[in-house]
A and B are shown apart, each in its own frame.
Chain A
Amino acid sequence: EDQVTQSPEALRLQEGESSSLNCSYTVSGLRGLFWYRQDPGKGPEFLFTLYSAGEEKEKERLKATLTKKESFLHITAPKPEDSATYLCAVLQRGYSGGGADGLTFGKGTHLIIQP
């Protein structure tokens, strides 16, 4: 069973059409939830870290929120340059690797913004 599930898998929007991406998680003892942006053929680019329910972070047209079971990445009035795959990852207590900070990633949401 996936511990981190992102939806939708793909999303196509018109420029200026606001929407939200979802990341639901089932891990216990959440130590942090991370959002990354990944362009094709490149490494993920860090966007936000959220640590506790109710926390919100903003950067330009992006806003990330966190509840006890899920996180949303809200995109307001997106532009074509916002097109990318958005990855969600969690850091949990008691990671099987012996307490290290290996992140557990979702499969990502592929976002396309059409001009």
Chain B
Amino acid sequence: DGGITQSPKYLFRKEGQNVTLSCEQNLNHDAMYWYRQDPGQGLRLIYYSQIVNDFQKGDIAEGYSVSREKKESFPLTVTSAQKNPTAFYLCASSLTGQGGEQYFGPGTRLTVT
């Protein structure tokens, strides 16, 4: 079955530690995205990538980093510079970076204490 996988489902870290969230897709989509979801707020775009080896900042990129070395993978690193890292993180992909629907993974809930 084609789809988007994110791992782990739950992640706990101590303040000051970097942590990497995994996102893999086998839909053969060119574009991939990372969003953050907080209670009472809409999803907000962190980073996106339209093709391999290229990515751009979204609205709230500070404290995050990404890489896109393979078409199937778009890992997100939450660094210690992110002031409020506790959130639900969602990865998405779309066929191209030129419009069209985005399909989401199941999400990773990160808790930093």
Task: Check B102–A101 contact: CB distance below 8 A.
Answer: yes
A contact residues around B50 at 8 Å (CB): 100-101
Using an 8 Å CB-CB cutoff, how does the interface string of A97-111 with B read, 1 for contact, 0 for none? 110111111111000
Residues of chain B lying within 8 A (CB to CB) of residue A43? 4, 6, 90, 92, 104-107
Q: Would you call A101 and B31 a contact (CB within 8 A)?
A: yes
Give A4 to B43 CA distance when docked, in angstroms: 11
Cβ-based interface call for B48 (8 A): yes
Known: A42-B106, A97-B48. Is A105-B43 also a contact (CB below 8 A)?
yes
Q: A101-B102, A102-B33 are in contact. Are A107 and B57 (CB under 8 A)?
A: no
A101 is contacted by which of B35, B40, B90, B99 (Cβ under 8 Å)? B99
Partner of B56, one of A4, A97, A106: A97
| Interface residue B84 (Cβ < 8 Å from any Cβ of A) | no
Q: Could you say which of B98, B102, B105, B106 contacts A103, with CB atoms under 8 Å apart?
A: B102
Chain A CB within 8 A of B1 CB? no
20 more A-B residue pairs beyond the given contacts A31-B99, A101-B94, A102-B48, with a C-beta to C-beta distance below 8 A: A32-B100, A36-B104, A41-B107, A41-B109, A42-B106, A43-B92, A44-B104, A49-B100, A87-B42, A96-B59, A97-B45, A98-B56, A100-B31, A100-B58, A101-B31, A101-B97, A102-B59, A105-B43, A105-B44, A106-B42
The 8 closest A-B pairs by CB, nearest first: A105-B42, A43-B104, A102-B45, A105-B43, A44-B104, A43-B107, A107-B42, A100-B48
Provide 10 A-B residue pairs closer than 8 Å at the C-beta atoms, listed in order of the A residue: A4-B42, A41-B109, A43-B6, A43-B90, A46-B101, A89-B42, A98-B56, A100-B56, A101-B97, A102-B59
